[in-house]
């Protein structure tokens, strides 16, 4: 089904090694559905150590990206003097995720070519999608297909961004000289399987992700395949519309994913809420407001450098979250307010510089690049935009749910920077 052409001839970088590494990555991306995020963090850290040990070296270029994510960790550590051990470790766990994932991507760029990496992403995405579909049907039955928002959402997990990358790669890579499938039916099957899984995720965020990538790639390929773009738009409208069909739970427009899409900006609006019922309904906006209050009540030094790893956001209310009542939380959905509380205004500056640098690298020299490198830059830009959106609504920069986006960012950045080297010739030749 897959046409895999190895182009790396460096001793030690065997197909078996690549298979083992991608099998481990697949297991981490799916174990996220079932086990503690802290354990997943340890597994990713071990994965990085294994890769570095196997290569007997570690790649840290481009250094600027690592500085932008690592330096805030250092001053957050300095500001954590009054944190208790438990909340200190909680904060470090979340804030260190981008650094671990991006460095992991750097190392993988030395082992995989662009072609090999995205073949692996397609395969991982398909298997993840099939697993998610099967587990959803087992847990919720076939009613999940009629009303995913009420029947399927969170039954297995909130979703996986690897299915987005898998779908986009399957759909568009051939237009950039990256041959993955021997036959067209393999391509369309991959798209359909991933699309079904995304539908069952019943998540506004993932629909936005898919829309961003489709628009970006359609700007390049629309003249060559208008049918593909029109097909995506038609299927997306159809699948989202299906979510308003009635179900055994009495689904209405007000509790459908279509309504949630329309109501998204109202939910995340930063505001104070005094009615307890509305606190739960618009919790994301309320916790963002409480984050601002926590920040504004701190000293000037803490405003600039943050409260450190153990700083909590006081909710000024008892809120039921994940089966437990909380009056202070170590994590909030709006990742920029999360940074503001933990790392201060300087942390926000570094975060914005991080996204600015990624955006600049995505478009710099695009027109003069080979087709495969153009593909790499478009994927990098898509990952950057979707990660920015995810950080605004689900603290995506500090979530294992978005791990593959961060790993892909690291992989693509490192590969694109290796101009004139043997790796660039083997990995990014057209």
Give tens-digit pLDDT for 138-159.
988 888 887 777 777 778 888 8
Question: Cβ contacts of residue 67 below 8 Å, gap of 6+?
Answer: none
Whether the pLDDT of residue 239 is over 60: the answer is no
Whether the pLDDT of residue 73 is over 60: the answer is yes
The pTM score is: 0.86
**Per-residue pLDDT reduced to its tens digit, 378-393:** 999 999 999 999 998 8
Whether the pLDDT of residue 312 is over 60: the answer is yes
* Mean pLDDT, the chain, integer: 82
pLDDT of residue 121: 96
Q: Where are the domains of the chain?
A: 15-250+337-428
Give the integer Cα–Cα distance in Å for 343 and 79: 9
3 state SS of 231: helix
Per DSSP, what are the bridge partners of residue 313? 329
pLDDT of residue 426: 43
Whether the pLDDT of residue 357 is over 60: the answer is yes
Residue 83 CB-half CA count within 13 A: 23
The position carrying tokens 């490192």 is 414
């Amino acid at each position: 089904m897959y046409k895999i052409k190895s182009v790396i001839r460096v001793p030690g970088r065997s197909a078996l090694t690549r298979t083992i590494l991608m099998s481990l990555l697949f297991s981490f991306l799916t174990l996220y559905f079932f086990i503690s995020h802290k354990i997943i963090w340890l597994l990713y850290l071990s994965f990085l150590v294994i890769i570095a040990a196997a290569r007997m070296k570690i790649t840290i270029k481009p250094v600027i990206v690592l500085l932008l994510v690592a330096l805030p960790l250092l001053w957050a550590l300095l500001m954590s003097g009054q944190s208790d051990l438990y909340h200190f470790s909680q904060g470090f766990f979340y804030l260190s995720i981008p650094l671990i994932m991006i460095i992991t991507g750097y190392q993988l760029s030395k082992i995989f070519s662009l072609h090999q990496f995205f073949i692996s992403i397609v395969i991982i995405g398909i298997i993840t999608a099939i697993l998610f579909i099967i587990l959803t049907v087992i847990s919720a039955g076939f009613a999940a297909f009629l009303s995913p928002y009420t029947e399927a959402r969170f039954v297995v997990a909130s979703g996986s961004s690897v299915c987005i990358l898998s779908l986009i790669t399957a759909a568009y890579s051939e237009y950039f000289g990256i041959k993955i499938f021997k036959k067209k039916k393999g391509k369309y099957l991959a798209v359909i399987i991933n699309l079904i899984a995304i539908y069952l995720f019943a998540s506004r965020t993932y629909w936005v992700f898919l829309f961003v990538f489709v628009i970006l790639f359609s700007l390049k390929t629309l003249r060559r395949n208008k049918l593909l773009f029109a097909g995506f738009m038609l299927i997306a409208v159809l699948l989202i519309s299906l979510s308003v069909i009635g179900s055994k739970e009495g689904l209405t427009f007000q509790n459908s994913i279509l309504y949630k899409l329309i109501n998204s900006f109202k939910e995340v609006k930063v505001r104070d809420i005094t009615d307890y019922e509305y606190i739960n309904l618009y919790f994301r906006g309320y916790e963002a407001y409480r984050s601002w209050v926590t920040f504004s009540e701190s000293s000037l030094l803490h405003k600039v450098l943050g409260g450190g790893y153990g700083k909590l956001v006081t909710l000024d209310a008892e809120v039921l979250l994940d089966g437990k009542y909380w009056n202070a939380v170590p994590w909030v959905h709006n990742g920029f307010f999360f940074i503001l509380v933990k790392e201060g205004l300087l942390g926000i500056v570094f975060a914005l510089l991080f996204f600015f640098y990624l955006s600049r690298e995505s478009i710099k020299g695009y027109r003069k690049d080979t087709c495969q490198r153009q593909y790499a830059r478009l994927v990098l830009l898509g990952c950057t935009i979707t990660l920015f959106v995810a950080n605004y609504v689900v603290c995506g920069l500090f979530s294992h749910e978005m791990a593959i986006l961060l790993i892909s960012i690291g992989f693509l950045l490192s590969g694109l920077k290796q101009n004139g080297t043997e790796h660039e010739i083997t990995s990014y030749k057209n």
